[in-house]
Amino acid sequence: MKHRLLLAVSIFGLVLYGGTAAATAAPARTQASAGQQNCVATALPAGDPGTPSVTCYASFAKAISAATHGRVHLPASATPGSVTIKQLNAGATPATTFVLSIDWVNVNFGGGSLTWTQSAACGSFQASGMPSGWNDTVSSVATYSGCANTLYKNAGFGGATISIGRNSSASSLGTMNDQTSSEKWCTARPC
C-alpha cells in the first residue's frame, strides 16, 4: 500500500511539474524590449500622468493582431513598413480598437516596432513617459486612424519636439532620433 501511495504521489508531482514547465516554456508574448521586438501599448487619455505598459510579440503580424484584438490578420511575412491605413482599419467599428501610430527603432521604418492603440479612431491621448524599454529609442513614425502625433524629448512633454501630421509618416526624426521620452496624439498637429 505504501508503494502505491508513493507511486501515486510521484506521478502526480511529475504531471504537475510537467504542466508547469509546458505552461512557461514558450510564452506567446514577452515583456518590453525594443530591439527587434514588435510591441503594443495603449495610449492614455489626456491628463493621465501614467506610463503605459507594453506587451511584445515575436512578429509584427502577431503584434498587429493583438493590437486590433484579432480584427486585422497580416501575412506572417508582413513588415512594419508595408502595413497600410486600409489594412489597419479593415472591419473597424466604433466599438473596436484603433491603431493611432507605430514607432520604429530604426529610420525608414525598420527594426522593432511599438504600435500605439486606443478605443477611438483619434482624440486627445498621451503617454507622459515611454513604456519600459522604449525611452530614447524611436527613429521613425507613421500615424493612422486620423491621428497626428507629437514626440517630446523629455518625459512629461518637455524639451524639443517633432510633430507628424494626420495619417502621415516620418522615415527619420532628424535631431530627435533616439530622443523620444513622451508622446501625444490628437486630430491636428502639433498636439
pLDDT tens per residue across span 37-83: 899 999 999 999 999 999 999 898 999 889 888 888 888 888 777 77
CB atoms within 10 A of CB 120: 18
For the residues 135-148, what does the mean pLDDT come to? 95
CB 145 within 8 A of CB 99: yes
Q: Quote the percentage of the chain above a pLDDT of 70.
A: 77
d(CA 39, CA 138): 13
pTM, full prediction = 0.78
Does residue 159 register a pLDDT over 90?
yes
pLDDT value, residue 25: 31
Query: 105-114 pLDDT, tens per residue?
Result: 999 999 999 9
Domains and their CATH numbers in the chain: 28-186 (2.60.20.10)
